[in-house]
Amino acid sequence: MTEEPIIIEIDDSQLDVAIMKLDLLGNKASAIIGGGGRGGKKLDTALPGINRELRLILGQVPGMREAMQTYFALKRVERGLAYANLGQLLPTVLTGVATVLLLLRELQRHQRRLEREKEDLERLIRKSRGWTHEEYERGRAEWEEYNRSMPG
């Protein structure tokens, strides 16, 4: 058995054209999305990012979930301001809308919690005094009247 060398000729001009097209497409996509790719502008943000592993670890520490939610809300606002500074309207508007939706959801959650606490308080007072709902309402009205008549 003898070995013969195999010579392959490749015209890399087509490969160069394909690479240039992909780079152009990447630059356009970065400009549209507003990301920090090769052709897009990077967002100037001061807050550091938190990767998935750090989120998993911090999520196990008591109280850190709420802290991370607050952090991500600040990060979202910062990102929206960075988009506004770049003059990109769509990402700025989307960030604003997302922030408003999350704030509304949190407000609704807070309102439901206050209503539950009010009902729990009424139930506790009615149970301890043996009142009906009507008696509770009269007692509450009397207490509010008494409270208004107090100086200060």
Write the CA distances from 142 to 24, 41, 57, 117, 150, integer angstroms: 75, 65, 52, 21, 13
How many whole angstroms separate alpha carbon 97 and alpha carbon 101?
6
pLDDT band, very low/low/confident/very high, at 59 (cuts 50, 70, 90): confident
Prediction pTM value: 0.53
Q: What is the pLDDT of residues 23-41, one digit of tens each?
A: 887 777 666 655 544 444 5
Domain parsing of the chain, residue ranges: 47-149
Per-residue model confidence (pLDDT) at position 107? 93
Q: What is the pLDDT of residues 95-114, one digit of tens each?
A: 889 989 998 999 999 999 99
Which token pair is 135?
């008696």
Write the CA distances from 66 to 27, 53, 58, 107, integer angstroms: 37, 17, 10, 15
Q: What is the pLDDT of residues 79-94, one digit of tens each?
A: 888 888 888 888 889 9
